Amino acid sequence: MLADYAVRVEDSRGRRFPEPPHPYRNDFQRDRDRVVHARAFRRLEAKTQVFTRRYSDHFRNRLTHTIEVTQISRTIAAQLGLNTDLVEALALVHDLGHPPFGHSGEKALDTAMRQHGFSFDHNLHALRIVEDFEIRYAAFRGLNLTFEVREGIIKHSRDYTVEAHPELAEYQLDKLPPLEAQLIDLTDEIAYNTADLDDGYEAHLLTVEQIAEGVDMFARHYDEARHRYPDAAEKLVFNEALKSIFDAFVGDLITSTAQRIQGAGARSVEDVRRHVERLAAFSPVVEEERRQLKSFLYENLYYSPALEGEKEDAERITAELFAHWMEEPDDLPRNYREKAAEEPLQRVICDYIAGMTDPFIYQQYEKYCSS
């Protein structure tokens, strides 16, 4: 049963290239399957989330993170009466545009592009992937996803203006995205905030004492877990605390969003789109706890001295490869040289690098820049 404010697949604005209906899958289910079978989706397995495999192959990569976001998103969407098929497709596609080396690679690509008057945005790059780069079908380029999934790719985590991005005008930039898309940015935060605590602890870069001192929410849940399991090993108590934090975030997001929907009197997708602010949100108390946890991770993990060398390497490798192909475009693969005849060379190089996995960009660096 869908709520009145949920997106209904029969009301979809459809695909750019019309296709006949499938006998046993609706359009959002087909979008989900097209994303899962895309080459760009498979490449997420070899793209860094936070930790490279130098630490361990047990840590999250971009693909396992995406799967975790999808699981959380479906659970919350079902409780709110939203369209779980659309939410699943959006969660699976939400990180498709990320380059190698995580946020370090994204920063380096954006810096390189801005030197030439351009920029790099992983949401916009994901849209280019599903609209153009994936070549699987004889009838059209790209994956030919529904409007609602394409809209969610660009609007799930930020708001664009038609003045700054006239090429996105078809996506109703004057309106908010539906709740199915609004959820994704928040479930993304739940997934990586809790997962990064876990991986940071496993990597021995964070201690229980350090986290408890910097994150009130963790201190509270860890104390409760320790009282429930006084004889358990520290790691198991830590796991219980993390599970409780995870449940607290998810439960609060469900409750708070439901209250905000009711308070806004939202009875349709259009009500959601035209509201003054996004309706999917944590409560003020939990939002403050989320902010504290995120700040702690930035100060003590993402910018920790232990990871600084890898970040510097990632930015240097990306920047030097970009500069090499700007000077020697004939070293690009043939299909990218052909694209450079129609598009700015900077954009073509950026697209090429953004699609690489971590191992492949290392190979390219060794081939062209390490002599």
CATH code, 9-307: 1.10.3210.10
Give the confidence band of 307 by pLDDT, cuts at 50, 70, 90: confident
Output the pLDDT for position 52. Answer: 64
pTM of the model: 0.95
Tens-digit pLDDT profile for residues 245-296? 999 999 999 999 999 999 999 999 999 999 999 999 999 999 999 999 999 9
Tens-digit pLDDT profile for residues 44-99? 999 988 776 566 667 889 999 999 999 999 999 999 999 999 999 999 999 999 99
Output the pLDDT for position 288. Answer: 98
Output the pLDDT for position 102. Answer: 87
The per-residue pLDDT of the chain, averaged, comes to 95
Lowest mean pLDDT among 116-125, 171-180, 185-194, 307-316: 307-316
Give the confidence band of 211 by pLDDT, cuts at 50, 70, 90: very high
Residues 311-319, mean pLDDT to the nearest whole number: 93
Q: What is the 3-state secondary structure (H, E, C) of the chain?
A: CCCCCCCCHHHCCCECCCCCCCCCCCHHHHHHHHHHCCHHHHHHHHCECCCCCCCCCCCCEHHHHHHHHHHHHHHHHHHHCCCHHHHHHHHHHCCCCCCCCHHHHHHHHHHHHHCCCCCCCHHHHHHHHHHHHCCCCCCCCCCCCEHHHHHHHHHCCCCCCCCCCHHHHHHCCCCCCCHHHHHHHHHHHHHHHHHHHHHHHHCCCCCHHHHHHHCHHHHHHHHHHHHHCCCCCHHHHHHHHHHHHHHHHHHHHHHHHHHHHHHHCCCCHHHHHHCCCCCCCCCHHHHHHHHHHHHHHHHHHHCCHHHHHHHHHHHHHHHHHHHHHHHCHHHCCHHHHHHCCCCCHHHHHHHHHHCCCHHHHHHHHHHHCCC
Domain extents in the chain: 9-307, 310-368
Residues 109-133, mean pLDDT to the nearest whole number: 96
Output the pLDDT for position 50. Answer: 79
